[in-house]
């Protein structure tokens, strides 16, 4: 493909095969039912509702699941075991309430809903000690408001029904706890002259995957607005590249259906730590949440469509072998859409993305692969290069979909941003080999 050689051509749109990405200020998300394990709550767990701790064994499981699906009102009363090691308050509570996010616990702490030995503690990093009595109430979900902000956007294509945007790295797609402003949603609300949007405050892992369609579809209160933007899919904060935005409900529904049917064409490129073997292939390994790290997903062999993981399939192809095999430029095409699919599959293959600290693509790993393959006089340059790259080297290069009104297959490509192009150029200077 010509775009792989120097990235000199400008962003362009042209008619080809189907593919897509879409946007609407996220509709009300849903969470899978969660349950509390009696073994993990040896003291007392009770709900601030019509349920009490005794309800756990009174045949009210179905009703209980409904209450716990978003954890609102859940109350934990427990004494820290004598053999416990030093641990942060937010981490300890998260470990005791199965399925809850750390961000949700932190919100509850900051709101003054957590007491330690009878005293309110609002510091999330407070260290609990053996024998401490913890009393925690999980806060209600509170709506966030997305305000229109004049943020420069790289608009690749726009008409009355869809908008295709080139998202820069380090930009969050929509407001969330910790990122209430400066997001792509804020910028699009301003660009499209839309009013403030209110939606549920939920925590997401984020990514470009259709796992999240269930979290980005539904109704939004837009204060009577006749046009409501909607996110059909997302990219991670660190991922750059193409997203499609639906500007009306027909377009949103049409694009959502294309995602569900896997007819959207998505092509990504990445720089990997090492080179995959074989140089091209198909990986079909289920993906689920990593039991050891809640913010990370994991490829879990043998767990297909279970509660722990869902079917996931990716195709990859090495475009260039870089720096004597210390890295590779790899193209990815997704058959399914799972949260962090490319990142989790790359880690499973033993080639985590360069710069992806969460999935093993650490600076030390990159240097351990690059230094033995390069002259010693450029090791200092390598260190500076690798240390300066602060995100997973993943770019959504191409996007294609069927236009929701015209029915035409439209396709877009977008060259990688300067940080990606710079490190690729430096690795090419060391050496580059294109597989036969």
**Which residues are known catalytic residues?**
236
Alpha helices in 131-285 (DSSP H): 184-191, 249-260
Residue closest to 179 by CA, chosen among 208, 158, 151, 156: 151
Residue closest to 187 by CA, chosen among 143, 236, 147, 216: 147
Q: Which residues of 314-351 are buried (b: 16+ CB within 10 A; e: fewer)?
A: bebebbbbbbbebbbbbbbbbebbbbbbbbbbbbbbeb
- For residue 333, how far is the Cα from the chain centroid? 17
State the residue for tokens 């297909």.
304
Task: Give the span between the Cα atoms of 175 and 173, in whole angstroms.
Answer: 7
For residue 415, the SS3 value is: coil
Task: Give the span between the Cα atoms of 265 and 261, in whole angstroms.
Answer: 11
Alpha helices in 135-248 (DSSP H): 184-191
Count CB neighbours of 256 within 10 A: 21
Task: Give the span between the Cα atoms of 222 and 241, in whole angstroms.
Answer: 28
User: Which tokens hold the place of 11?
Assistant: 């962003």
Contact in structure between 434 and 409 (CB atoms under 8 Å): no
Question: In this structure, what is the dihedral angle of CA atoms 248, 254, 258, 261, given to the nearest 10 degrees?
Answer: 140
Count CB neighbours of 79 within 10 A: 15
∠ Cα 163 5 154 (to 5°): 20
Contact in structure between 410 and 257 (CB atoms under 8 Å): no
Task: Give the span between the Cα atoms of 237 and 101, in whole angstroms.
Answer: 18
State the residue for tokens 């351990």.
368
């Amino acid at each position: 493909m010509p775009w792989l050689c120097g990235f000199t051509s400008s962003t362009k749109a042209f008619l080809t095969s189907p593919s897509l990405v879409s946007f609407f200020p996220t509709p009300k998300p849903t969470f899978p039912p969660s349950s509390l394990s009696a073994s993990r709550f040896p003291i007392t767990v009770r709900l601030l509702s019509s349920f009490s701790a005794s309800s756990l064994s009174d045949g009210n499981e179905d009703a209980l699941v409904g209450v716990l699906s978003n954890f609102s009102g859940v109350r934990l009363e427990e004494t820290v075991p004598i053999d416990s090691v030093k641990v942060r308050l937010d981490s300890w509570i998260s470990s005791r309430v199965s399925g809850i996010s750390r961000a949700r616990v932190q919100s509850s702490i900051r709101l003054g809903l957590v007491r330690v030995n009878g005293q309110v503690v609002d510091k999330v990093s407070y260290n609990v000690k053996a024998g401490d009595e913890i009393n925690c109430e999980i806060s209600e979900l509170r709506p966030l408001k997305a305000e229109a902000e004049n943020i420069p956007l790289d608009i690749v294509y726009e008409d009355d029904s869809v908008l295709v945007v080139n998202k820069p790295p380090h930009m969050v797609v929509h407001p969330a706890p910790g990122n209430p402003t400066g997001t792509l949603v804020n910028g699009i609300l301003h660009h499209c002259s839309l009013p403030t949007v209110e939606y549920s405050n939920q925590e997401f892992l984020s990514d470009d995957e259709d796992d999240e369609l269930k979290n980005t579809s539904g109704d939004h209160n837009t204060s009577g607005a006749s046009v409501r933007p909607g996110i059909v899919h997302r990219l991670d904060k660190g991922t750059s590249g193409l997203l499609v935005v639906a500007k009306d409900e027909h377009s949103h529904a049409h694009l959502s259906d294309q995602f569900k049917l896997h007819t959207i064409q998505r092509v990504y490129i990445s720089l990997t730590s090492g080179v995959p073997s074989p140089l091209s292939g198909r990986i079909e390994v289920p993906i689920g949440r990593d039991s050891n790290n809640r913010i990370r997903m994991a490829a879990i062999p043998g767990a297909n469509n279970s509660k722990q993981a869902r079917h996931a399939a990716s195709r990859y192809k090495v475009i260039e072998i870089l720096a004597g095999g210390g890295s590779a430029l790899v193209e990815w095409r997704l058959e399914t859409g799972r949260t962090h699919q490319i990142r989790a599959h790359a880690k499973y293959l033993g080639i985590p993305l360069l710069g992806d600290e969460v999935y093993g693509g650490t600076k030390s790993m990159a240097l351990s692969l690059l230094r033995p393959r390069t002259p010693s006089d450029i090791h200092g340059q390598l260190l500076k290069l690798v240390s300066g790259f602060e995100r997973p080297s993943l770019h959504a290069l191409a996007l294609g979909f069927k236009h929701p009104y015209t029915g035409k297959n439209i396709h877009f490509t977008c060259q990688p941003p300067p940080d990606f192009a710079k490190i690729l150029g430096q690795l090419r200077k060391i050496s580059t080999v294109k597989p036969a």
